[in-house]
Amino acid sequence: MPSSVIKHYSYESTKRILYITFVSGITYAYKSVPIDIANMLKAAGSKGSYFNHFIKGHFKYTKLRKK
């Protein structure tokens, strides 16, 4: 299901980094994210709600770029 908040996301399992690009074009790298969290984001019916409840405020992040 498309998200009105998240444009794209990917997970780098070797580094445990979750990359999320928001519809604004800004990409963030969330660090030390367990694979279970990344898999549940993929399975979530509402990516934005899942992000707000289980990722936002729970992991350190770095702002990467705006396309």
Give pLDDT tens digits for 9-67: 999 999 999 999 999 999 999 999 999 999 999 999 999 999 999 999 999 999 997 65
Q: Which residues contact 49 (CB under 8 A, 6 or more apart)?
A: none
In a domain, 52, yes or no: yes
Domain total for the chain? 1
Q: How many residues does the chain have?
A: 67
DSSP secondary structure string for all residues of 4-67: SSEEEEEEETTTTEEEEEETTSEEEEE-S--HHHHHHHHH-S-HHHHHHHHTTTTS-EEEEEE-
In a domain, 1, yes or no: no
**Per-residue confidence (pLDDT) for residue 6, from 0 to 100:** 94
In a domain, 59, yes or no: yes
Domain of residue 50: give its range: 6-64
The model carries a pTM of 0.90
